[in-house]
Each structure stands twice: as C-alpha cells, then as structure tokens.
C-alpha cells in the first residue's frame, strides 16, 4: 500500500514560489464553488442597465466621462471591490480555519507563509477581474449614449479604473487576510475598517498620517493623478477635499516609488498587512477548544 518503500524516490518538496502558486491555483479552484460568485454575471448586467438608465436621466446635465468616473469610483471603488474582496478573502482564509480543513494544509511539509500568499494572490486576481468587468459594464452603459461625451468616447478611462481597482483588490485582499488570520469575526472587523476607519480618515486633512492606514485615500490619489480631472470632477470624487483641493498639486506623482507617493503607501499597507497576517497564520494552533 502507501508507504515509504512504495513511494520510492521522494519528490523534492516545493519551494516558496511553487507552494504559493499551488495554493493560489487551489484557492481559485475552490472559489469557483462560492455561490456568491454566481451572481457576478447578473450583477454586471444590472450595473450595465443601471448605467444606461442613469445616463439617460442625466443626459444634458453631465458629461459622459464625468458620469462614468463618478459611478466607477463610488460604485466600484468604494463598494463593490472592497466588499467583494473582503468577503472572498475572509472566506478563503478564515473559512478553512473555522471548518478545520486548513489542518490538512498545515500537515504538509511547506511553510504557511506561501500558503497564505497564494490565497491572497487568488482572491486579489478574482476581485480585480470583477472590478475590471464592472468598469467595462459601466463604460458600455454610459457609452451607449455617445452624444453625452463632449470629447468623444474615452476608452482610456477603462484602463485607468482597471489599474486603480486592481491595486485596490490587492490591498483589500491583504486586509482580508489580516482580519481572517487574526480575528474570530473577521467580517465584522472588515466592516469596521471600511465603514469606520476609512470614512473617518477620509474626513481628515490631506496631511494627516492616518490616511495612510486606509486604502481609499491612496487609491483616490492615484485616480486623480491619472485622470487629471476638472475641478468639478475632483470635487465629486473627493468631496472632503473641496476646500483644500489645491494641495493635490503638491503631492508626489502617484505611480512613483518616491516616499509618500500613493503607490508606496499602498505597497506599505499590503506588506504590513501580509506580514502580520502571516505571523498570525503561522502561529495558528488547533487547541482542544472547538472552533465550530
């Protein structure tokens, strides 16, 4: 039967990268069975119809590009992508800890860090895909009325928002990994983070350091930098900054690796979250107390 002598030459154990990729593959496979993902196509159709209806009502009072930007940021950037990512991330990590199936993974001769990184990667990719598909749906909905676009249809908006939402997906997935590995009620903490911490921080001055503890703030800075918006669009995307919008000009360019740039802030956020999450995940013990 299945024994040491039966196995013959023992295969070389996978390294960090191999383990992370396998973990990502398995997580992606398991995410297929999450029923919540089945409603994504329906949600995209609804998003398209919503954009179509809203643009019909707003025709003549607002530019198509402006409407697309506002809908994409407030609908996708602050609602759909954060919640979808946090939910999927929590399910991928915490769900297995709770039902104990992660024990099967922890018994394998691989480190837990790449297992967690694989899950983070898989959730990030799925969420980014959802975000990008959402942008396309919105763009098509508003773009169905080309007369609203004073400068003609601008497909570059899709690229800009896809970039921002993808960055957001990776960051929210890191936050989800942290909450899932640390807390017994990670979704409650995720809600507190999105509704409490981020909203509170969003109303602080641009110079406030606490903004760097959030995801929306650097994302919004990337977005504004990439869009080069009109003053009205900037105010619609970042209402709390109306009085200080001029300070935006003094901020570092968004996609540089300069200290204080939004990209560096996001990378720092992701690394810190994943470091803590990995520390907690690696120390998870299965005590005799029930986790059910």
Task: For the CB of residue 199, give the shortest distance to other proteins in the complex, in Å.
Answer: 37
CB 114 within 8 A of CB 17: yes
Task: For the CB of residue 14, give the shortest distance to other proteins in the complex, in Å.
Answer: 6
Q: Please, which residue, 121 or 223, has the CB nearer to other proteins?
A: 121
Give the whole-angstrom CA distance, residue 172 versus residue 215.
7
Q: Please, which residue, 83 or 106, has the CB nearer to other proteins?
A: 106
Give the whole-angstrom CA distance, residue 82 versus residue 165.
9
Task: For the CB of residue 2, give the shortest distance to other proteins in the complex, in Å.
Answer: 4
Q: Which residues contact 280 (CB under 8 A, 6 or more apart)?
A: 178, 181, 182
Which parts of this chain interact with other proteins (CB under 8 A)?
1-7, 10-14, 19, 22, 26, 30, 32-33, 99-101, 103-111, 285-289
| Burial class (CB within 10 angstroms; exposed 0-12, middle 13-18, buried 19+) of 150 | exposed
Please give the backbone phi and psi of residue 3, each rounded to the nearest 5 degrees, phi first: -145, 180
Q: Please, which residue, 66 or 112, has the CB nearer to other proteins?
A: 112
CB 161 within 8 A of CB 135: yes
Task: For the CB of residue 176, give the shortest distance to other proteins in the complex, in Å.
Answer: 20
Q: Please, which residue, 5 or 147, has the CB nearer to other proteins?
A: 5
Task: For the CB of residue 284, give the shortest distance to other proteins in the complex, in Å.
Answer: 9
Q: Please, which residue, 22 or 235, has the CB nearer to other proteins?
A: 22
Task: For the CB of residue 20, give the shortest distance to other proteins in the complex, in Å.
Answer: 11
Q: Please, which residue, 9 or 257, has the CB nearer to other proteins?
A: 9
């Amino acid at each position: 039967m299945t024994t040491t002598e039966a196995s013959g030459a023992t295969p070389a154990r996978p390294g960090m990268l191999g383990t992370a990729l396998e973990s990502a593959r398995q997580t992606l496979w398991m995410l297929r069975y999450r029923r919540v993902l089945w409603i994504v196509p329906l949600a995209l159709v609804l998003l398209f119809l919503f954009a179509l209806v809203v643009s019909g009502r707003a025709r003549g009072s607002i530019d198509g590009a402006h409407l697309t930007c506002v809908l994409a940021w407030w609908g996708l950037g602050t609602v759909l992508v954060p919640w979808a990512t946090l939910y999927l991330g929590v399910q991928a990590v915490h769900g297995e800890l709770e039902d104990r199936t992660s024990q099967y993974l922890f018994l394998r001769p691989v480190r837990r860090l790449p297992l967690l990184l694989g899950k983070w990667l898989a959730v990030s990719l799925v969420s980014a895909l959802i975000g990008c598909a959402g942008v396309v749906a919105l763009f098509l909905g508003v773009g169905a009325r080309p007369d609203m676009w004073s400068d003609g249809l601008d497909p570059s908006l899709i690229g800009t928002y896809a970039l921002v939402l993808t960055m957001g997906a990776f960051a929210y997935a890191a936050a989800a990994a942290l909450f899932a590995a640390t807390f017994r009620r990670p979704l409650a903490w995720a809600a507190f983070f999105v509704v409490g911490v981020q909203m509170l921080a969003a109303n602080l001055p641009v110079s406030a350091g606490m903004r760097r503890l959030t995801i929306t703030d650097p994302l919004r800075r990337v977005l504004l930098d990439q869009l080069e918006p009109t003053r009205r669009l900037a105010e619609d995307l970042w209402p709390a900054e109306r009085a200080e919008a001029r300070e935006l000009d003094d901020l570092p360019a968004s996609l540089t690796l300069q200290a204080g740039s939004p990209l560096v802030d996001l990378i720092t956020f992701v690394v810190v979250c994943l470091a803590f999450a990995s520390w907690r995940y690696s120390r998870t013990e299965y005590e005799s107390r029930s986790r059910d």
